[in-house]
A and B are shown apart, each in its own frame.
Chain A
């Protein structure tokens, strides 16, 4: 790989099984085009996405993380997505302190019928992360003398 233009972001997507994953499925069956940069991980509920998952994805080299769940009030388990909603701003505040741009981690509500929104979110996010460049946390670890003084 050479230069920023040829950089292909790697985004991990945690999609809830009842709405967002179905939305993604519908995007496929409706032959919507969106970039292949997001690797989907099907979870039972957005409430299952422990902040540890997000940190682990970043620590292992993801350039961005997308969390998608049912719209508030529509969670299959009633309140799972409210938990996701409560965690997100606190996680973002911590990530900002870690020096991670807030555009790299995104929370979206996507219903089973919103394949268009799904495709749009993935497209937007891929472009944003591409502009931000690689995060490369796994390579950054313990490298001495990164900043030249």
Chain B
């Protein structure tokens, strides 16, 4: 069998997905035996013009991580889509927008004002801002154009498979790689390397009646290790989040933050979470409910932590 032609790319991302690939450890050698890597900016030296020179569908599989936040990300998404037979949205940023997607609480101007002006560590009395083009004696320097709204990969180009997680767990990456090598992929458009049901189904904790009179944040308590975290007043996104991670966070005594995205039947992960949290509030009058809700400081950031661009409302109004 001819070796697979593989491309790996990162757009708006932290690099954790790349590390997750390297976490395959010695199995990376099996990957190298089955596939040739043609593009991997984080690990190898390639130029975009090399990729531009390939004929269409030259690459067998492209693992694309990161959300689309500027013109460079969009260009590469479109380019690699055209050059690849199979496009995989790799990780929560590519699938749902991820943490970079939280920038959708602001727009370009809002982000720039904060980053290049307001942050306490910034000293920028000239008000210098990034420019897309700048002329120096040696010639012209360029930067990508920064967009108002972060998008998912799927909102930018057609995607064949979604492999979520922040980052995807190594075991699942390996299973997907093997399926690719064996040519045993599910129908296009599917989520791969995931469970069908929610994180709660994978969570070993004891679940009883949920009635909460006060919410606490993870830094305020050391949770009991065996009892459902929601019942202990911690906001755990397990009920609205797809499993597949093996409930890693809850097993480490931390609430689920929702990185695997909504389950198959959930449209909007945040709305579902909001509904789940509200239903366990132990109060039957408006004032009592308000008192409990007041303790949830940032519903948007908590319930849409990994999926604001993928949500029904997509972004905040500015």
Q: Which residues does A use to contact B, with CB under 8 Å?
A: 50-52, 54-56, 58-59, 72, 82-83, 85-87, 89-91, 93-94, 97-100, 137, 140-147, 149
Partner pick for B277 among A90, A98, A140, A147, CB 8 A cutoff = A90
Name A55's contact: one of B107, B108, B147, B271 (CB within 8 Å).
B271
Q: With A52-B268, A89-B289, A90-B293 known to touch, is A141 a contact of B314 (CB < 8 Å)?
A: yes
Contact B296 A58 (CB under 8 A): no
Residues of A within 8 A of B107 (CB): 146-147
Report the Cα distance A72→B107, complex, angstroms: 41
Interface flag for B41 (CB, 8 Å): no
- A145 near B299 with CB under 8 A, answer no
Is there a chain A Cβ closer than 8 Å to B207's Cβ? Answer: no
Query: Considering the chains assembled together, what is the distance between the CA atoms of A83 and B107 in angstroms?
Result: 35
Asked whether any CB of chain A lies closer than 8 Å to the CB of B105, the reply is yes
B216 within 8 A of partner (CB)? no
Given contacts A55-B271, A144-B147, contact A86 B278 (CB under 8 A): yes
Q: Is B109 on the interface with A (CB-CB < 8 A)?
A: yes
Contact size class for B? Answer: 35 or more
CB distance from A44 to the nearest CB of B (A): 16
CA A89 to CA B65, docked complex, whole Å: 36
Can you give 13 A-B contacts (C-beta < 8 A)?
Answer: A52-B271, A52-B312, A55-B313, A59-B312, A59-B313, A72-B285, A83-B278, A83-B279, A85-B284, A87-B279, A93-B296, A94-B300, A97-B299
CB of B286 closer than 8 Å to a CB of A: yes
Q: Which of B270, B289, B318 contacts A99 (CB 8 A)?
A: B318
Q: Which residues of B contact A51 (CB under 8 A)?
A: 268, 271-272, 274-275
Contact flags B259-299 to A (C-beta < 8 A → 1, else 0): 00000000110111011011101011110011001001011
B148 near A144 with CB under 8 A, answer yes
A146-B318 CB under 8 A given contacts A58-B313, A82-B284: yes
Q: What residue in chain B is nearest A89 (Cβ atoms)?
A: B293
The answer to whether A93 and B313 have CB atoms under 8 Å apart is no
**CB <8 Å contact, B270 and A87:** no
Q: In the complex, what residue of chain A is closest to B272 when comparing beta carbons?
A: A52
Please indicate the chain A residues that have their CB under 8 angstroms from the CB of B109 in the complex: 147, 149
B316 is an interface residue with CB less than 8 A from chain A: yes
Instruction: Determine whether B310 belongs to the interface, using a CB cutoff of 8 Å to chain A.
Output: no
Tell whether, in the assembled complex, residue B271 and residue A97 are in contact, meaning their CB atoms are under 8 Å apart: no
Choice from B283, B284, B303 contacting A94 with Cβ under 8 Å: B303
Minimal Cβ-Cβ distance residue in A for B317: A99
CB of B149 within 8 A of chain A?
A: yes
Give Cα A78 to B283, complex, Å.
15
In the complex, are the beta carbons of A90 and B296 less than 8 A apart? yes
For residue B69, CB closer than 8 A to chain A, the reply is no
A residues in contact with B285, CB < 8 Å: 72, 85
Contact B317–A86 (Cβ < 8 Å) = no
Other A-B pairs, 5, CB within 8 Å; known A58-B313, A93-B299: A86-B278, A87-B275, A91-B278, A144-B149, A145-B148
Answer whether residue B257 sits at the interface, using C-beta atoms and an 8 A cutoff: no
For residue A56, which residue of chain B has the nearest CB?
A: B312
A87 touches B278 (CB 8 A): yes
Whether B151 is near chain A, meaning CB under 8 Å from some CB there, is yes
Contacting B312 at CB < 8 Å: which of A55, A140, A142?
A55
Contact call B300/A97, Cβ cutoff below 8 A:
yes
